[in-house]
Amino acid sequence: MYGDGTLLLLSTHFYIPLGDFEQSQLDYIVKKVKVLRFPHLWVWHFWVGLLGLFGYYSRQMEKYIADRTKLIDASGIRKVFALAASLKNPINFSIGQPDFDVPDALKEEAIKAIRAGQNKYSQTAGDSILKGKVAEQVEKEFGWERPAVLVTSGVSGGLLLAFMALINPGDEVIIPDPYFVIYKHVINLLGGKCVFVDSYPDFKLPVEAIGRAVTAKTKMIIVNSPCNPTGAVYSEEQIKALAEIAAESDILIITDEIYEKFCYDGNCPSIASYYDKTLLLRGFSKSYAMTGWRLGFAAVHESINNIIEEMTKMQQYTFVCAPTPFQKAAAAALDYDVSALVAAYRKKRDVLYEGLKDKFELVKPGGAFYAFVKAPGGSATKFVEKAIENNVLIIPGNVFSEKDTHFRISYATSNEKIEQGVEILCRLA
């Protein structure tokens, strides 16, 4: 008499599964609950019931999931991908990886290693030849004698191992904002507290503000130069000033230098040259376009080599080792000259900057392959939606920041696409 709707309403409203009622029981309840006889209330109850059913099934789904997953918010990037799914041949300024392929000579090294049967686990800390070459390079560059080295599964792997080995719940980690997304989420997962220090609007290293943010709980400061998402390169003066602040309070520095090769206007100074209590993280993903090969390394001065020992212990029970045949190719990569590729990227940077600078507020990026541009109208999310409707994929700044005023462009694409994208963005400004 009341149909399926009534059955659904009654069952979901009280979180009782559908089949639990017999018709006679239903008739009785409906007789008692007179409001259900009024059609407009019936519709209202139908929707409330439907919500209840949704809630019931959500709770059922969630019972397996750990609470810490709620500490991670993936919504920013997901929104861009959802909007982008409908686009045909978009101008893709969203991807953070080079548009060139792994150089042939390095591919051959990997193939050779695979054919030679070097397909088993390597030592946990990495292939001895690669580790030796990294140690030699680090010693030469920073004057660190006997540095401790760990080969990691990308810089992401290095960051995870470092945070696991170093962060206690409640420890504070100072991070210039904007920042690379992984830092915030992994630190939160481990119960650490991110202390963001604003570097807007010029994206220089905010040394004085970092000094003011130091407390008794500060465990480390993260530096990322050249920076994702701003493309900023920190000057020697800023880096030295930060080293002094860190030394005063005996704070560890983590320097993420994954973009060290993409450095367009002179050198990119490293804090490792000025401060021994530095954990250096570098990688192969960007410099040699090996993002899928998952390779990076961590290195420290011998005075803090226990950090690498603890990270190696963590690696044993997580990644086990970095991919063995690719470690062989990475050893060859350390001798591979990428200056021509970097010169091509400098040109891309110039095309993008010259094309946008009269219409947008942006700081000329000195490195990496990103520009962080102020969104016209104030809301980056709104401007990004408009850009995507016009076939240009960019990422809203709030993915990388506590603010939503800028958007990130990755210009790791063809010069033709950069020109087309610039033209569309200028039209929308």
Q: Which residues bind ligand PLP (CB under 6 A)?
A: 96, 154-156, 180, 224, 228, 256, 258, 283, 285, 291, 296
Whole-angstrom CA distances from 154 to 164, 185, 233, 257, 282 are: 16, 17, 21, 12, 8
> Nearer to ligand PLP by C-beta: 283 or 421?
283
In the complex, minimum distance from the CB of residue 155 to ligand PLP, in angstroms, rounded to a whole number: 4
Own/partner contacts of 197-200, CB < 8 Å, gap of 24 or more, are: 199/230, 199/232, 200/403, 200/405, 200/406
Length of the chain: 429
Report residue 375: phi and psi, to 5°.
Answer: -80, 130
**45 close to 5: Cβ distance less than 8 angstroms:** no
> Nearer to ligand PLP by C-beta: 36 or 412?
412
In the complex, minimum distance from the CB of residue 333 to ligand PLP, in angstroms, rounded to a whole number: 13
Q: 């690696």: which residue's tokens?
A: 315
> Nearer to ligand PLP by C-beta: 137 or 391?
137
Q: Quote the crossing angle between the two packed helices 75-84 and 380-389, to the nearest 10°.
A: 20
> Nearer to ligand PLP by C-beta: 275 or 319?
319
Give the full edge-to-edge strand order of the sheet including 406-410: 370-374, 406-410, 395-396
Token readout for 338 is 């990428």
In the complex, minimum distance from the CB of residue 227 to ligand PLP, in angstroms, rounded to a whole number: 7
Task: Render the burial of 389-407: b for 16+ CB within 10 Å, e for the rest.
Answer: eebbbbbbbbbbbeebbbb
In the complex, minimum distance from the CB of residue 286 to ligand PLP, in angstroms, rounded to a whole number: 7
Q: 């020109």: which residue's tokens?
A: 419
Alpha carbons 386 and 377: distance in angstroms, whole number:
12
> Nearer to ligand PLP by C-beta: 188 or 420?
188
Token readout for 142 is 């920073």
> Nearer to ligand PLP by C-beta: 11 or 255?
255
In the complex, minimum distance from the CB of residue 69 to ligand PLP, in angstroms, rounded to a whole number: 21
In the complex, minimum distance from the CB of residue 159 to ligand PLP, in angstroms, rounded to a whole number: 7
Alpha carbons 289 and 412: distance in angstroms, whole number:
11
Alpha carbons 29 and 12: distance in angstroms, whole number:
14
In the complex, minimum distance from the CB of residue 368 to ligand PLP, in angstroms, rounded to a whole number: 7
**281 close to 162: Cβ distance less than 8 angstroms:** yes
In the complex, minimum distance from the CB of residue 257 to ligand PLP, in angstroms, rounded to a whole number: 9
> Nearer to ligand PLP by C-beta: 10 or 110?
110
**369 close to 98: Cβ distance less than 8 angstroms:** yes
> Nearer to ligand PLP by C-beta: 45 or 261?
261
Q: Give the residue nearest to ligand PLP (CB).
A: 154
Alpha carbons 138 and 151: distance in angstroms, whole number:
13
DSSP characters for 284-315?
STTTTT-TTT--EEEEE-GGGHHHHHHHHHHH
Angle (CA) 163 167 170, round 5°: 140
In the complex, minimum distance from the CB of residue 365 to ligand PLP, in angstroms, rounded to a whole number: 13
> Nearer to ligand PLP by C-beta: 6 or 228?
228
> Nearer to ligand PLP by C-beta: 109 or 256?
256
In the complex, minimum distance from the CB of residue 305 to ligand PLP, in angstroms, rounded to a whole number: 22
